[in-house]
């Protein structure tokens, strides 16, 4: 493999990013955004090197640490060694940075031995490896391997403004190559990674970045024009926007969340996408939910979860998770299920979804809910996984409230 032209300031940028992610606790995507904005002289290749190198190291953090003999994430001074190991293992590089920081490590022998240990090879904490094995049994190793690969960039056509063929043509005019996704009629996959958010097509609201399995949630909900739908955990609103497209911008969508700043983002995105049927409401007390009792044809609960299904997209998440955090999230899921169901009208539909691979956040939560609320009936549930579907991991369950 040919070693790219790597300047010292690029390596320093990666070093800074890693320190902020692992030792200051910031999220990787936000760190990368800040670092890339810090030097306007960097070209596209420089920016790509910084982003891809940082993400590759985050993805393989434990593996690289184990090679260096210092799996101690509390030591910021270890990052230059980790970067040097990355350069060596990825490019077989004799870069001066490698010679400076790897004078006495026999990389080849260490790699061979460490690759025999799953938690090290796939670079996850021991507790997560044990938890995943208990949850997914024989499928865990395959899913874990798929989670440790870079995700493709998928976009969803905004059908209120264009169709997929026209969007593909418009993107091509901006030197952005795509191929149609086979799973539906609106998805496109990027051939090469580029900054989509500066493109004219994005600024014109012709598409949203959204993985194919995430797109399936709105399709699974089966929204119809004229319906009243509540997206009760809307966040930044990707699924609300998709619901509106499927409804042909006819009816009413109430996007709700406990964080007002996320709803502000949803409003901005809806305006850009030409969507007028979305109303936002902050959940600042249970009164907000009670006022909407029995009012919705459909309620979507895309609940907070471990995010285990999107680790390939957010690799730093595996270092920020813990057993205690997962336990707290499962409690929150039950609280949401145990309260928000009341917004569904008799005969209406509730959809529960997560971006988790773990049954204890998925079907087991639905089984618990059905015991608590026998007036609901499970109609269908589906799941997607990185290994089986080459997509983000998602679970979705459709329940009907009996008349």
CATH number, domain containing residue 393: 3.40.50.150
> Residue 109: its pLDDT value, please?
78
Q: Are residues 110 and 221 in the same domain?
A: no
Higher pLDDT, 95 or 149: 149
Same domain, 358 and 221: yes
Res 78 pLDDT > 90: no
**What pTM does this model have?**
0.93
**Mean pLDDT for the stretch of residues 294-318:** 97
- Among the listed residues 166, 243, 153, 235, the one whose alpha carbon sits nearest the alpha carbon of residue 204: 166
In this structure, the answer to whether residues 238 and 330 fall within a common structural domain is yes
- Does residue 87 sit in the same domain as residue 118? yes
Domain enclosing residue 40, as ranges = 8-123
Looking at the chain, the whole-number percentage of residues with pLDDT higher than 70 is 96
The predicted model gives 94-99 an average pLDDT of 80
Residues 171 and 113 in one domain: no
18-28 pLDDT, tens digit each = 999 999 999 99
Q: How far apart are CA 108 and CA 84, in angstroms?
A: 14
Q: Report whether pLDDT(1) > 50.
A: no
207: confidence class by pLDDT, cuts 50, 70, 90: very high
Average pLDDT over residues 53-79: 82
What's the number of domains the chain is made of?
3
Of 176, 209, 242, the last residue of a domain is 209
Over 60: is that where the pLDDT of 285 sits?
yes
State residue 122's pLDDT score.
Answer: 96
- Residue 129, domain member (yes or no): no
pLDDT of residue 106: 67
Per-residue pLDDT at 12 exceeds 60: yes
Phi, psi of 300 (to 5 degrees): -105, 125
Chain mean pLDDT for the chain: 93
Residue-level pLDDT at 97: 82
Tell me: do 380 and 283 sit in the same domain.
yes
Give the span between the Cα atoms of 386 and 307, in whole angstroms: 13
3-state secondary structure the chain: CCCCCCCHHHHHHHHHHHHHHHCCCCCHHHHHHHHHHCCCCCCHHHHHHHHHHHHHHHHCHHHHHHHHCCCCCCCHHHHHHHHHHHHHHHHCCCCHHHHHHCCCCCHHHHHHHHCCCHHHHCCCCHHHHHHHHHHHHHHHHHHHHHHCCCCCCEEEECCCCCCHHHHHHHHHHCCCCEEECCCCCCEEEECCCCCHHHCHHHHCCCEEECCHHHHHHHHHHCCCCCCEEEECCCCCCHHHHHHHHHCCCCCEEEEEECCHHHHHHHHHHHHHHCCCCEEEEECCCHHHHHHCCCCEEEEEEECCCCCHHHCCCCCCHHHHCCHHHHHHHHHHHHHHHHHHHHHEEEEEEEEEEECCCCHHHCHHHHHHHHHHCCCEEEEEEEEECHHHHCCCCEEEEEEEECC
Domain stops at, among 185, 209, 233:
209
- Residues 251 and 174 grouped into a single domain: no
Residue 143 lies in a domain: no
**253-280 as b/e: b if 16+ CB within 10 A:** bbbbbeeeebbebbeebbebbebebbeb
Residue 181 catalytic?
A: no
CA 20 – CA 325 distance, rounded (Å): 21
Same domain, 187 and 229: no
Same structural domain for residues 186 and 216?
no
Q: Which of 102, 123, 144 is the last residue of a domain?
A: 123
Is 147 among the domain residues?
no
Q: Which of 181, 233, 305, 355 is catalytic?
A: 355
159 and 287 in a single domain? The answer is no
Whether the pLDDT of residue 103 is over 70: the answer is no
Say if residue 107's pLDDT is above 80: no
Based on the fold, state whether residues 189 and 203 are members of the same structural domain.
yes
Q: Quick check: is 131 in a domain?
A: no
* Lowest mean pLDDT across 5-14, 196-205, 223-232, 308-317: 5-14
Residue 104 resides in a domain = yes
Is residue 142, in this structure, part of any structural domain at all? no
In a domain, 140, yes or no: no
Please state the rounded mean pLDDT for residues 240-256: 98
pLDDT over 70 at 158, yes or no: yes
CATH code: domain of residue 177: 3.30.70.1170
268 lies in the same domain as 283: yes
């Amino acid at each position: 493999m040919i070693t790219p032209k790597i300047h010292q300031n690029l390596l320093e940028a990666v070093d800074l990013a890693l320190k902020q992610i692992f030792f200051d606790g910031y999220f990787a995507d936000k760190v990368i955004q800040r670092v890339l904005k810090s030097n306007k002289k960097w070209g596209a290749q420089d920016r790509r090197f910084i982003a891809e190198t940082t993400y590759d190291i985050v993805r393989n953090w434990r593996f690289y640490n184990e090679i260096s003999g210092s799996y101690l994430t509390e030591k910021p001074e270890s990052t230059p060694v980790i970067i040097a190991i990355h350069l060596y293992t990825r490019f077989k590089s004799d870069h001066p940075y490698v010679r400076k920081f790897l004078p006495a490590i026999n990389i080849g022998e260490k790699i061979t031995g460490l690759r025999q240990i799953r938690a090290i090879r796939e670079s996850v904490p021991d507790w997560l490896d044990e938890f995943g094995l208990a949850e997914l049994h024989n499928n865990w190793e395959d899913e874990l391997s798929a989670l440790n690969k870079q995700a493709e960039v998928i976009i969803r056509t905004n059908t209120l403004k264009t169709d997929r063929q026209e969007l593909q043509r418009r993107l091509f005019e901006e030197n952005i190559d795509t191929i149609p996704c086979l799973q539906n009629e609106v998805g496109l996959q990027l051939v090469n990674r580029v900054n989509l958010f500066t493109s004219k097509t994005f600024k014109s609201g012709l598409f949203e970045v959204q993985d194919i399995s995430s797109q399936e949630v709105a399709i699974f909900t089966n929204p119809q024009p004229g319906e009243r739908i509540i997206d009760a955990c809307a966040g930044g609103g990707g699924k609300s926007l998709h619901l509106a497209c499927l409804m042909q911008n006819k009816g009413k969508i109430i996007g709700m969340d406990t964080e007002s700043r996320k709803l502000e983002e949803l409003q901005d995105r809806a305006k850009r996408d030409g969507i007028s049927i979305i109303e936002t409401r902050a959940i600042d007390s249970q009164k907000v939910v009670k006022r909407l009792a029995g009012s919705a044809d459909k309620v979507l609960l895309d609940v907070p979860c471990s995010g285990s299904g999107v680790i390939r997209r957010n690799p730093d998440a595996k270092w920020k998770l813990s057993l205690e955090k997962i336990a707290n999230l499962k409690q929150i899921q039950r609280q949401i299920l145990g309260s928000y169901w009341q917004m569904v009208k008799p005969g209406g539909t509730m959809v529960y979804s997560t971006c988790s691979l773990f049954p204890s956040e998925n079907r087991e939560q639905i089984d618990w809910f059905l015991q608590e609320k026998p007036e609901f009936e499970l109609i269908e549930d589906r799941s997607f996984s990185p290994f089986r579907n080459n997509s983000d991991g998602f679970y979705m369950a459709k329940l009907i409230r009996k008349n």
